[in-house]
Chains A and B, each alone.
Chain A
Amino acid sequence: MKRSTFTITILLALSLLIAACAPAAAPTAAPAAPAAAAPAAATEAPTAVTFARNETLYTGGKQWGPVSNWNPLMTGNYATGTIGLVYETLFLYDPLTDKFTPWLAASGKWTDATTYELKVRQGVTWSDGKPLTADDIKFTFELGQKTVLNFSSLWDWLGSITKVDDYTLDFKFKSALYQEWDNYLYNVPMLPQHLWASKDLKDVATGANDKPVGTGAYLYFAYDQAKMVWARNDNWWAIKALNLKVAPKYIVDLVNTSNENSLGLVLQGQEDLNNNYLPGISNLLAGGYALHTYYPAAPYHLAANTAWLDVNLQKKPMDDVEFRKALASSINVADIVSRDYGNMVQAANPTGLLPIWDKYVDQAVVKKLGISFDIDKAKSILKAAGYKDVNGDGFVENKDGSLIALKIIVPNGWSDWMAAIQIISNSTKAAGINVIPDYPDFNGYLDARLKGTFDLAIDNQVQVSNTPWSYYHFIFYDKLADIATTQGGNYGRYNNQTAFDLVTQLDKLATNDLAGMKAVISKIQTIQLTDLPIIPLWYNGMWAQMSSVNWTNWPSSADKDNHYLPVTWNGYWNMTSILMLTQLKPVVAK
């Protein structure tokens, strides 16, 4: 091989590559296309291919793969912000103040026990210029009746929707589940009838819906392998109606590849808001990186969901409530909080209710029945219940003398949880219960829980919501036979009709009936703490690292700052994250 051949080959290869790259990139070089399709009446056509730093907000933390669809009905894998930035909901819900804000709705109220009257906001337009009317909302809800969507089960108890006038609808219920209904009010995205009515139902439910047309503050701009780009909608209805203006002209949501990469981008000030769990962020807050979290000190982040221990009640010895009590007493949660999480999380209340639901915790019940970490107590419960160490290996055996060796599972790669189950294993072993950490891949973990073949597993599937009903509905999910396919919760297969009935009763209570809710919840808590179907451990955070290198006025717990949720995950924009965008200020003025 001569040098000249070598050089020529390299040059040839490189030129081929650059050539190969260009056409491949072309389909994603979408800026021209959306501009053409862009609303006639709406904004000026976006033409930029380079986004000015002081007009662009970079976010990350939701998108774990290239963007694949913009269908707001495909909960879970639509592009970040599809619901919230483009498609909007009837109300926003603020979990911190427990208040609903009318959004696409002007107002809503129960006119009798089974009729909900919804007034639709006037002056809202779709980004193609057509007005939003009651027809669009009726159409959206009725789609759930025609095909299988996430809100289809609503039609089990909703009778009909009647259009009173262009901006008023009456929802007639067969039986009103008030708690659940409120949840739909801020979670169901409203769709334009004039564009969706002609789609076939398969396309409605599972189509990619490229070039989405919504009512929201942002318009589809472009996407590629590494990001989704939204451009501000300067004709957004809330500018006039609510005097709100979102600050960033572009939102660029970056695809996550690894936590290390995200950390680098945040430290460099390239990513303005990151919603990944970044271990050790507390050490970096003081590191001169212009970073901050919602709270300046521990626990740093707001609580997003409860991590609890699923206990498989179908297996020995977990079917014995005394054993479960001993197990619960033997888990050193404080150690997980301090050593694993560096105090970035808080230990959970024994009921597992999130801090926003504190008002529903019956302190008397918790005081009487709540279990806290106490190795000696764990040992004495085991002893009293007849669990003895027969073979002298330091661990108790079943009452029939067979060995107890329980596997506790979390998905492989979830490093914080992996460390947590090591700590759990150490502390239960100290009490004489042999718990062995095991890390199957995510599929194996999911499968073991769905089929009920696990011993112990960590779970955290209920996010903050408007009602503790959603939490209880999950841990007391009553269709035991269907768990494997519905993923409805209750993976330990706890079976208690009284508890199930109480949860249904809670669903039927008016959302302003605080006393009634508390009374029912107190009964549920008594059952939960007596029977221990699950063992609440800690609260996972709404991980949010905010960089003030390019944008300031971020949410924080300080009185002078706003308290919107700094979270880009699905279901959070329609809580209050969209309002966060109205508060941001660019560091470099235009």
Chain B
Amino acid sequence: MRRYFTRKLLIYLLTFVLAVTIDWLIPRFMPGNPIQILISRAGLKAESANLIYSYYMQAFGLNVPIWQQYLNFWNALFHGDLGTSVWLFPQPVIQIIMRAVPFDVLLLLPAILVSWFAGNKFGAFAARSKWLDNTISPLGYILTATPYMWLGLMLGWLFGIILKILPFSGAYSYAMMPNLSWAFVGSLLEHWILPFTSLFLVMFGGWAIGMRNMIIYELEADYSHYLEALGAPRKLVRNYAFRNAILPQITGLALQLGVIVGGALVTEIVFSYPGIGFLILQAIQNHDFFLLQGCFLFIIIGVLLANFAIDIIYVLVDPRTRTGMQGEG
């Protein structure tokens, strides 16, 4: 058991270092230079721009050799410093991200969990009869093939502009500042419905289809036929099939939960929802090395943690993993 987790941890550590290195490298391969963008947006007078350029290059530590920048980056990271955003100068990256994270969690956690539960139930349910399979499955296929953005725009247009019953922009009313009142919480919920629904519907389709296929596959497996041949009740066979079919779905869930930060980029843009997704897009467009690094760092950590959690959950839910570990130990 200990050996299993030590090995896993080592692998995760290595993955972390590699992923963070790639995360650091990629923006630096893009053509151009963030300081130029900063200056271009500032519309500076040419006579002053030269001095300001060298000032910023120094301020962002971009005037030292690339290997030095890399070392400085790790050094700062261990001190919990993600740097200063170029795009939202002079705000620290960590502050920008921390302001956005709650909105991602608020939107994605329920969307992922509810769609996972509902999708699996429905998928398993649909696999039971031809009639249901013929009606629910196509719906699932349509939903999962729908681009988030298109569905979001349609929902926003229908409920926001035509019917005028739901707001389609922002995380709460533009006429409010955050405060602890029922009015604010109400506004928060009201603004949450459309982005949540658009995410939920598309994800729901995916889970339902996945589950339906898995169940059909499991019901065709030898152990199911064997059980049936032994005269086991259909319900029992289905329960076993469900328990096997749920395993890949758990992996999928963990991966989704891993990208909970920044996983709804398109939806956030359509609904002006102030999460990390929107920040990532802008960070790329503005060549903001530091913000982009910060956002991806959160995603990397999220994915690794989720994977680690899965390793543990597998030990709990899948007896075969336990057996494997005992055999090994």
Contact = CB atoms under 8 A, between A and B. Distances in A.
Interface of A: 1, 6, 9-10, 13-14, 17-18, 20-22, 24-31, 49-53, 56, 58, 64-66, 68-69, 74-77, 148-153, 156, 205-208, 222, 224-227, 229, 252, 254-255, 257-258, 260-261, 264-265, 267-268, 270, 413, 440-444, 446-448, 450, 461, 463, 473, 477, 479, 482, 485-489, 570-571
Contact of A76 (B41, B90, B157): B41
28 contacts: A17-B102, A17-B105, A17-B110, A18-B106, A21-B102, A22-B178, A24-B99, A26-B178, A28-B99, A29-B177, A29-B179, A50-B175, A50-B176, A65-B88, A65-B286, A66-B88, A66-B96, A68-B85, A68-B88, A148-B48, A224-B177, A257-B269, A258-B272, A264-B169, A441-B285, A447-B36, A479-B46, A485-B54
B179 A76 contact: no
Given A6-B117, A49-B179, A441-B285, A487 B188 contact: no
A475 to B, nearest CB: 12
B42 A74 contact: yes
Given A152-B48, A444-B32, A21 B106 contact: yes
Given A13-B113, A150-B44, A261 B270 contact: yes
Contacts of A29: 177-179
A31 B179 CA distance: 10
Contact of A225 (B59, B179, B274): B274
Interface string B45-58: 11111111111000
A463 B157 CA distance: 35
A75 B44 contact: yes
Interface in B32-76: 32-33, 36-55, 59
Given A9-B113, A150-B45, A268-B160, 14 more contacts: A17-B105, A21-B102, A29-B178, A50-B176, A68-B90, A76-B43, A148-B55, A150-B48, A152-B47, A208-B91, A261-B269, A261-B271, A443-B30, A487-B36
Contacts of A450: 36
Given A76-B41, A264-B169, A225 B48 contact: no
Interface of B: 30-33, 36-55, 59, 85, 87-91, 96, 98-103, 105-106, 109-110, 113-114, 117, 153, 156-157, 160-161, 164, 168-171, 173-181, 183-185, 188, 246, 268-272, 274, 278, 282, 284-287
B74 to A, nearest CB: 25
A267 B176 contact: no
Given A64-B282, A148-B55, A487-B40, A447 B183 contact: no
A487 B269 contact: no
A206 B89 contact: yes
A268 B156 CA distance: 12
B161 A264 contact: yes
A28 B172 CA distance: 13
Contacts of A486: 46-47, 49-50, 53
B36 A482 contact: no
A408 to B, nearest CB: 17
A14 B108 CA distance: 11
B287 A77 contact: no
Contacts of B52: 148, 150
A226 B171 contact: yes
Contact of A22 (B91, B156, B180): B180
A446 B37 CA distance: 8
B190 to A, nearest CB: 14
Contact of A443 (B100, B105, B110, B287): B287
Contacts, number: 227
Given A17-B105, A64-B282, A488 B46 contact: yes
Nearest to A206: B90
Nearest to A444: B31
A482 B177 CA distance: 46
A153 B48 contact: yes
Nearest to B153: A260
A489 B44 contact: no
B49 A487 contact: yes
A50 B184 CA distance: 9
Contacts of B91: 68-69, 208
User: Sorted from nearest, which 4 A-B pairs have the closest CB atoms?
Assistant: A488-B46, A76-B42, A153-B47, A443-B32
A66 B99 CA distance: 10
Contacts of A477: 46
Contacts of A255: 272, 274
A152 B32 CA distance: 26
What DSSP secondary structure best describes chain A's contact surface? mixed
B31 A447 contact: yes
Contacts of A68: 85, 87-91
A472 to B, nearest CB: 13
A457 to B, nearest CB: 13
Nearest to B85: A68
Contact of A51 (B45, B156, B170, B175): B175
Nearest to B278: A257
Contacts of A6: 117
Contact of B177 (A28, A148, A571): A28
Nearest to B117: A6
A224 B178 contact: yes
A156 B47 contact: yes
Contact of B102 (A20, A64, A205, A257): A20
B80 to A, nearest CB: 18
Nearest to A68: B88
Given A10-B110, A22-B180, A255-B272, A225 B171 contact: yes
B174 A58 contact: yes
Nearest to A27: B99
Contacts of B268: 257
B178 A77 contact: no
B300 to A, nearest CB: 21
A50 B186 CA distance: 13
Contact of A482 (B50, B90, B176): B50
A149 B287 contact: no
Contacts of A151: 45, 48
B42 A447 contact: no
A503 to B, nearest CB: 12
B177 A229 contact: yes
A50 B183 contact: yes
Given A29-B177, A260-B153, A74 B46 contact: no
A14 B174 CA distance: 23
A225 B172 CA distance: 11
Contacts of A148: 48, 51-52, 55
A124 B315 CA distance: 73
Contacts of A74: 42, 89
A492 to B, nearest CB: 16
Contact of B41 (A77, A229, A268): A77
A56 B90 contact: no
Nearest to A254: B174
Contacts of B156: 264
Contacts of A265: 169
Contact of B38 (A10, A76, A442, A482): A76
Contacts of A270: 169, 174
Nearest to B41: A76
A14 B110 contact: yes
Contacts of B272: 226, 255, 257-258, 261
B95 to A, nearest CB: 9
